Each structure stands twice: as C-alpha cells, then as structure tokens.
Amino acid sequence: MWLAGQAPGVWIGPRQLWAPTAGEQALSACAPGGSCMPIVERTTCTTPACPGGGAVLVVAENVGVSAFPQDYDGFTRELDALRADTRLAALHPYLATHPQHSERESARARQEEARRREESRHAESVRWVSEYRRGDRLELSLSGGAATLEHAGGAFLGGTGGVALTFSVDDDDADESDEEDTILNIFLGDTLGAELRVHFMHRADGGQEAEWFTALGIAPVLSNRFERSVVRLPTFFGTIAPELGVMFRADRDATWYVAWSMPFSFLITHDLALDIAPRLFVVDDWIPKPDPDADSDPAELVFMLSAGFRLP
C-alpha cells in the first residue's frame, strides 16, 4: 500500500487510507492490487477508527478493503501485524494503543495478581491462620442433622444452612504464646461476625405429633482459629451468646426461640471445612401450662447434632 512519492499508508476502509507521513504532498493512493486513484478529500482520524492519529486520504473509488476493526481485540491484532511489517517502519512511531488499553491492562494486572495470590495461598499448608483470611469474609455452610424434643419426643432428621459474614483479626501473633492473647482467644476468639441460619427437621420415626419444625434465626460468630492448624474452636462468649429467631412447627403457632451451639470447624482443603455442632434450642409456647394460673411457663427443649460442610 503506497502513495505517490513512496510514502506508506494503511487502508482503513473502502475509500480511506491512513497516511500520517503523507500529509498534503500525496496526489494519489494505490490500492492493494496496484491500481492508483486520485485523492479527492483529506481528513483526520484518531483511534480506534485508525491505527493512530493523523491524516486520512479519501479516494474516489471503492478499493474493496473492509473497515479497520475498532473493537479492542481486533484493533490489537491489527496493530501487532502492522508493527511486524518492516515495510511500514516509517509508520511505527505513529501507531497508538486502543482507548481501552489502560483499562484492559489494569484489569489484566489485577487478574494476574489474583492468580499469583491464589497460587501462593494453595502452595502453603492447609490452616485457618493465614494472611489470606484476614478481614471480611463471607462463609456458606450446609449441614445434615438429627434432633429430638424433650417433651414431644420423636426422632427428627434434616439440615441446617447458614450464611455468615465474619472478620478475622491480625494473624501476626498466631505463633506466639503470650498469656494475654491466649486468654483473649479463649474468651472472645479471633474470628468475629454474625450468621443467618435456617434449620429444618422432619420426623423420621413415623409419629404424627410435631411432624416437622423449621427455625430461622441469627447467631453471633465468636470463634478462635487454633494457632496455625486446621481447627477452629468455639470460644466462651461464642458458646454462651445465644442464637435468636422464630420457630415454626406443624402442629403449633410460630413462636420465638433461643439456641446455643458449640461449632467446631476442621479445614479439609484450603476452601472446604468440616463443621460439627451440637445445639440446644429452648422454645417458648410449645408446651401448654399444666395450670393456667401457674407462674411457671414450661418450654420445649430441642437437642440437635449437626455435621456438614463450610465454604470459608
């Protein structure tokens, strides 16, 4: 693709030739097949309509060349081809990047950094304490469980699902045995947050009373990642702080409940943990008062054992 006077150019459309070095000197433009045509108009363009800023020469006839690609990938491929063509060496200084180049490079750099972080995370041993688990994290859990009611009795099978937003504190003291930190971890822990839980249980022994019950509640998350191990333990305050919510039962009206649990989590892989949690529910208004005038208000107790998986 040459102009009169042997100045190189790039066809960017059926009648348009990008020729930043030709300027006002060119009188005609030659098509890829060799035929030359007079220039009828001069204009300018910028990326991505052309490979760079500069003059555009418009000829009278259609030379059968498709428009220069303006999407990022197509533009970049064409630019690489132009840079590889030694005949266009005079144009190389005028070639410019796509307007989205900076944005794409930033995204690529972020993806590369994330990839390196993931590779580094998976290269270390499986453990709860890690710089990659600092800050806010969303944890999902799904467990199967078995339960029984103290008053109504019966064997129940079902499950528990949870969504927890947790915050893991600094890990710098994980290998230290400072007495103050040890006491703090026992009582409060290093993982704080809250979890929304849904429990569903269905009677499995053929009885009809209390055929099923469902609990929806929110619970505090106060646990401790035991040093640099795969174990995350319940803390003192995490055990005594109750889960609060509403309980539904097949043969009763909805009512409030409080529950306590002792969740243990054991990392299996970097992204999967085994959860085991005994739970105790105290449910109001499920047992009628033996004497309507009595001051005591008996409550139903639900004993549950759950085991399942968590995505930490």
Question: How high is the pLDDT of residue 295?
Answer: 61
The number of C-alpha atoms within 13 Å of 31 and in the hemisphere containing its C-beta is: 17
Report how far residue 221's alpha carbon sits from residue 243's, in angstroms, rounded to the nearest whole number: 10
pLDDT, one tens digit for every residue, the chain (312 residues): 444 467 888 999 999 999 888 767 778 888 877 778 888 888 889 999 999 988 899 988 888 888 999 999 999 999 999 999 988 888 899 999 999 999 999 999 999 998 998 888 888 889 998 878 888 899 999 999 999 998 888 899 999 999 999 998 866 655 555 566 778 888 888 899 999 999 999 988 876 666 889 999 999 999 999 888 999 999 999 999 999 999 998 888 899 999 999 999 999 999 999 999 999 999 988 887 666 666 666 788 999 999 999 999
Please state, in angstroms and rounded to a whole number, the distance separating the CA atoms of residues 47 and 74.
13
Note every long-range contact of 30-34, with CB atoms under 8 Å and residues 24 or more positions apart, other chains counting: 30/1, 30/2, 30/3, 30/4, 31/1, 31/63, 31/64, 31/65, 32/1, 32/63, 32/65, 33/63
**Cα distance between residue 169 and residue 192, in whole Å:** 8
Residue 236 host element (H or E): helix 236-240
Q: Which residue has the tokens 């999967």?
A: 272
Amino acid at the residue 272: L
Tokens 């998976």 found at: 122
CATH T-level assignment (fold) for domain 131-311: Porin (2.40.160)
CA-wise closest residue to 130 among 190, 77, 185 = 190
Domain spans in the chain, listed from the N-terminal domain onward: 1-123, 131-311
Q: Cβ distance 66 to 97 under 8 Å?
A: no
Query: In the prediction, which pLDDT does 72 show?
Result: 92
SS3 (DSSP) at 237: helix
Strands 243-249 and 272-283: unpaired
Q: How far is CA 176 from the centre of its chain?
A: 32
pLDDT of 174: 56
Contact between 281 and 247 (Cβ < 8 Å): yes
Q: Which of left, alpha, beta for 154 (phi over 0: left; psi -120 to 50: alpha)? A: left
Given this model, what pLDDT does residue 151 score? 84
Structure tokens at 275: 């959860």
User: What is the per-residue pLDDT for 179?
Assistant: 60
Q: Quick one: CA torsion of 61, 63, 67, 69, rounded to 10 degrees?
A: -150
